[in-house]
């Protein structure tokens, strides 16, 4: 298996760059396409916790412990990510997500997605396969659909 593997995708949204940026960087935005709740502190080292199961016990709600690595307003957002709770061997080891935003014109924005930092073997492979499907077949299409006109 390639130790330098990554998950890469892109989607074109029929929305302004501000609208798409807000979808990724605000709690209301996250709720509009990604998950039922979030805790986001828009600063380096701030929380970037996407909550899929708000009623679950701590550690089983979502991307708990994820933090923002870098921000370039309306251009780039980078954050840590973790494996689902059922993959306990790799859950607490963080991978990296970088999302870039490119205005195509006044009402279309290209979102370029990159997720790296993967180990190999065992639960690393399971997590990589899980997120290859989740990001590319669920999250990015839902973002695009959120802005369909």
pLDDT for res 106: 85
At residue 133, the pLDDT reads 98
User: Model's pTM, two decimal places?
Assistant: 0.95
141 within some domain: yes
Would 2 be classed as within a structural domain?
A: no
DSSP 49-114: EEES-TTSPTTSSBSTT-BEEEEETTTEEEEEE---TT-HHHHTS-EEEEEEEEEEETTEEEEEEE
Burial of 39 (0-12, 13-18, 19+ CB in 10 A): middle
For the chain, what is the domain count?
1
pLDDT for res 3: 61
Say what the pLDDT of residue 149 is: 77
Give the domain range for residue 106.
Answer: 7-146
Instruction: Indicate whether 1 belongs to any domain.
Output: no
Domain assignment of residue 14, yes or no: yes
Which tokens hold the place of 76? Answer: 């780039």
Report the CATH number at residue 83. 3.30.530.20
Q: Is residue 133 part of a domain?
A: yes
Ordered per-residue pLDDT tens for the chain, 149 residues: 456 899 999 999 999 999 999 999 999 999 999 999 999 999 999 999 999 999 999 999 999 999 999 999 999 999 999 999 999 999 999 999 999 999 998 899 999 999 999 999 999 999 999 999 999 999 999 999 999 97
- Domain-embedded: residue 29: yes
């Amino acid at each position: 298996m390639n130790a330098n593997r990554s998950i890469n995708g892109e989607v074109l949204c029929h929305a302004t760059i501000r609208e798409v940026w807000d979808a990724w960087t605000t709690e209301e935005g996250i709720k509009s396409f990604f998950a039922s709740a979030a805790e986001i502190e828009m600063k380096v080292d701030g929380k970037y916790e996407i909550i899929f199961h708000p009623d679950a016990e701590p550690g089983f709600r979502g991307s708990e412990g994820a933090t923002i690595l870098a921000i370039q307003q309306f251009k780039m957002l980078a954050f840590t990510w973790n494996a689902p709770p059922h993959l306990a061997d790799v859950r607490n080891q963080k991978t990296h997500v970088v999302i870039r935003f490119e205005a195509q014109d006044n009402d279309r924005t290209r979102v370029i997605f990159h997720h790296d930092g993967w180990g190999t073997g065992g639960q690393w492979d399971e997590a990589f396969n899980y997120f290859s499907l989740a990001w590319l077949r669920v999250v990015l299409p839902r973002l695009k659909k959120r802005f369909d006109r």
